Amino acid sequence: MRLSAFFLLSFLLAACGYKPADHYARNLMGETVFADVQISISDPAAGPILIDAVNEALVTKLNSRLASRESADTIIHIKNGRYNIYSLETDEKGFVATYRSRVSMNVTVYGRIERSFSISGTHDFSTSDTSVLSDTERTNAVREASLRALDMLIANLIFLGYDSDRK
């Protein structure tokens, strides 16, 4: 019974023209991508975090292959990547209990299209028993907020790819 339901569902999805979302972005961007991240002079420690988050998002969410600048179908240039971390909530003793990290950046995509985007992402997190923010917590917060900002970029690229595929 389950097998026939699986085949029926597969047939319906294939018959209606279902395509995964990354299909549209790949049509727009190609198979290979180079990420050019401009590191902020004011906080160079956040640069590698941002670079890793960008590469992770491109590989895992778009199924793209990273390539050199010369051989890439699309170049994604990220500049003015900045972040801040601020308190959201304090406990009854007045210590910070919850923080929010916010990452914003300007992204320009070069390739089959040329578009610029301003994207941002946030991540809320709690600290351990102390209100002191450790380097590990700060790094993780910036990484998660960067991934959420890149989700916004990917959603825009998927929409543009879907729109161009329909024409």
CATH homologous superfamily of 19-162 equals Lipoprotein like domain (3.30.160.150)
Can you give the pTM of this predicted structure? 0.78
Residue pair 162/20 in contact by the 8 Å Cβ criterion: no
Residue pair 67/32 in contact by the 8 Å Cβ criterion: yes
pLDDT digits (tens, 9 = 90+) for 7-42: 777 766 665 666 777 677 777 788 899 999 887 777
**Is 60 exceeded by the pLDDT of residue 101?**
yes
Buried b (16+ CB within 10 A) or exposed e, 118-150: ebebebebebeeeeebeeebbeebbbbbbbbbb
pLDDT digits (tens, 9 = 90+) for 123-159: 999 876 666 788 888 888 988 998 999 899 888 888 8
Structural domain spans, the chain: 19-162
